[in-house]
Each structure stands twice: as C-alpha cells, then as structure tokens.
C-alpha cells in the first residue's frame, strides 16, 4: 500500500519538476585522459540521455560530438577549465543529427576547429543542421598533442553517414548512435537508418577493432558488449 501511495503521489508531480531534478550535465571519468559527458533532452515525455566524449591532450581538449542540450555548452567548457585548466581545440561530429551537431556554430565562434566527414556536412546542409567548418573525405587519423585517433566509416547504419572513432592505444571505441547500449531494448530512431546494411556494418567494426571500452550514443556505456547487442537487436 505504501508503494502505491508513493507512485500515486509521483504521478501528481508536474513533469517540469521531475525534469528539474535530473542533472543537466554529467561528466564521468572513463580511462586516463578520457571522459564521457552526458546531457539530456525530453523524448516521449521523459528525459533521455545522450553520451559524448572528450579527451584531454597536451595541446587542448578534443570533443567527440556535442552536447544534445546546447544550454550545457558553456557549463561544459567551464567544467573543463576548472578540472583540466584547458579548453577544447577540436570537435568531431559522428553524424548529421542534432544530438551530434547542435552547437557547432557556438563552438566555432569560441575558436574550436569543428570537423566531420564530407558526407555528414552534405547532409547537415540538406537537413538544415549546423555543420562543421572542416571535412575529411575518407577514413582519417588525427593526432592532437599526445593522443591519436581514427575516424572510421563502417557503412550505413543508424544513418548513412555515421562514423565511429577509434583510439588504438587505449582501445576505446566511440560508437555514437551507430551502437546501441546493452540497456536498450530497441533500435531507437530509425527515420534515417538503413537497417538492411547496418548488420554488415556492425560486423565490419567487430572484425576491425577489439575494444576495451565501447561508448554508445545513448544510455549506459559500462558494458562493452554494445556492438554484439546492437547486432542482436538488428537480427530480431
């Protein structure tokens, strides 16, 4: 009976109050210089998390994707300064959706070099999303300070332009929305997906990389079996 009363009372709490109780920005240490940062946006009447990554290098901070909630851009940079005494020098967007590209104009105005694939920039223009200033046309390796990483295109999946980012030394794979969390029970937003090609693209990544950490675009990331879980969801 007490449980029912608690649940009933919770239903009487306005959604805005419940949303206000959710942290707007969470930064979680991953490994060494790597941090996962999470922001939230309302989806289907509830707040839903979006994961991004940043790495602290000797030449500044590299952001992989942007905060979904753009009101958290300045708090994120403030946190970086307070924690690491550094600011971002580069961002890399992994596909054209707003949870990966929102705030690119703001970052550019604050001196951050913004990057994406040429295909992603093309789709950003077509879909009226914010676009990166710099592009690459094929799988590309970057070195910033003491850290190197590879932007790798596995083929269509969540979107036709989705890429993953591989940090070879640390065996960290940032999958973005191409990879579903083991917490996910479905494939999420399929409005721009290619579900027929996605399984083969996942298998390419499984064959190419042997990660110790896998960061999906949404929900929990502590279980590294997200690639295998995504394939199972696709094969249902």
> Would you state the pLDDT for residue 44?
84
pLDDT greater than 70 at residue 6: no
Nearest-CA neighbor of 69 among 99, 43, 34, 108?
99
User: Is 192 marked active-site?
Assistant: no
Residue 86: inside a domain: yes
User: Is 84 marked active-site?
Assistant: no
Residue with tokens 């009101």: 71
Catalytic: which of 33, 65, 95, 161?
95
pLDDT greater than 50 at residue 3: no
User: Is 97 marked active-site?
Assistant: yes
User: Is 189 marked active-site?
Assistant: yes
> Would you state the pLDDT for residue 226?
98
User: Is 99 marked active-site?
Assistant: yes
> Would you state the pLDDT for residue 139?
98
Residue 2: inside a domain: no
pLDDT greater than 80 at residue 169: yes
Residue 15: inside a domain: no
Determine the structural domain holding residue 59 and report its residue range.
Answer: 21-235
d(CA 97, CA 130): 9
Catalytic: which of 33, 51, 147, 158?
158
CB-CB contact of 195 with 154 (8 Å): no
Q: How many domains does the chain have?
A: 1
Catalytic: which of 51, 97, 147, 229?
97
Q: Can you state the percent helix, strand and coil of the chain, rounding each to 5? A: 30, 30, 40
Catalytic: which of 99, 147, 218, 229?
99
> Would you state the pLDDT for residue 17?
43
Question: How many CA atoms lie within 13 Å of 171's alpha carbon, on the beta-carbon side?
Answer: 7
Output the average pLDDT for the chain: 92
Catalytic: which of 84, 105, 189, 192?
189
Nearest-CA neighbor of 218 among 45, 25, 38?
38
Residue 105: inside a domain: yes
* CATH, residue 71: 3.60.15.10
> Would you state the pLDDT for residue 2?
38
Residue 4: inside a domain: no
Strand-pair partners of 147: 144
Residue 3: inside a domain: no
Provide the whole-model pTM.
Answer: 0.91
- Which helix (H) or strand (E) segment holds residue 131: the answer is none
CB-CB contact of 39 with 70 (8 Å): no
Name the band, by pLDDT with cuts 50, 70 and 90, for residue 9. very low
Q: What is the pLDDT of residues 27-82, one digit of tens each?
A: 999 999 999 999 999 988 889 999 999 999 999 999 999 999 999 999 999 999 99
Structure tokens given for 31: 């490994």
> Would you state the pLDDT for residue 232?
97
d(CA 75, CA 103): 13
Residue 221: inside a domain: yes
């Amino acid at each position: 009976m007490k449980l029912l009363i608690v649940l009933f009372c919770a239903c009487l709490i306005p959604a805005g109050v419940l949303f206000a109780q959710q942290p707007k920005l969470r930064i979680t240490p991953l490994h060494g210089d790597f941090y996962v940062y999470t922001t939230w946006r309302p989806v289907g009447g509830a707040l839903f998390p979006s994961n991004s990554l940043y790495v602290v290098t000797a030449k500044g901070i590299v952001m992989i994707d942007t905060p979904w909630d753009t009101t958290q851009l300045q708090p994120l940079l403030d946190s970086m300064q307070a924690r690491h005494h550094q600011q971002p020098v580069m961002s890399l967007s992994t596909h054209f959706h707003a949870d990966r590209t929102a705030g690119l104009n703001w970052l550019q105005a604050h001196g951050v070099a913004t990057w994406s694939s040429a295909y992603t920039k093309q789709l950003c223009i077509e879909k009226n999303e914010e676009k990166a200033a710099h592009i690459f046309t094929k799988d590309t390796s970057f070195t910033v300070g003491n850290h190197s990483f590879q932007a790798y295109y596995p083929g269509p999946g969540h979107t036709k332009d989705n890429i993953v980012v591989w940090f070879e030394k640390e065996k960290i794979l940032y999958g973005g929305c191409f990879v579903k969390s083991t917490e996910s029970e479905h494939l999420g937003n399929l409005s721009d997906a290619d579900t027929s090609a996605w399984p083969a693209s996942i298998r390419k990544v499984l064959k190419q990389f042997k990660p110790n950490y896998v960061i999906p675009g949404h929900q929990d990331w502590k279980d590294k079996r997200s690639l295998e879980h995504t394939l199972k969801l696709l094969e249902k």
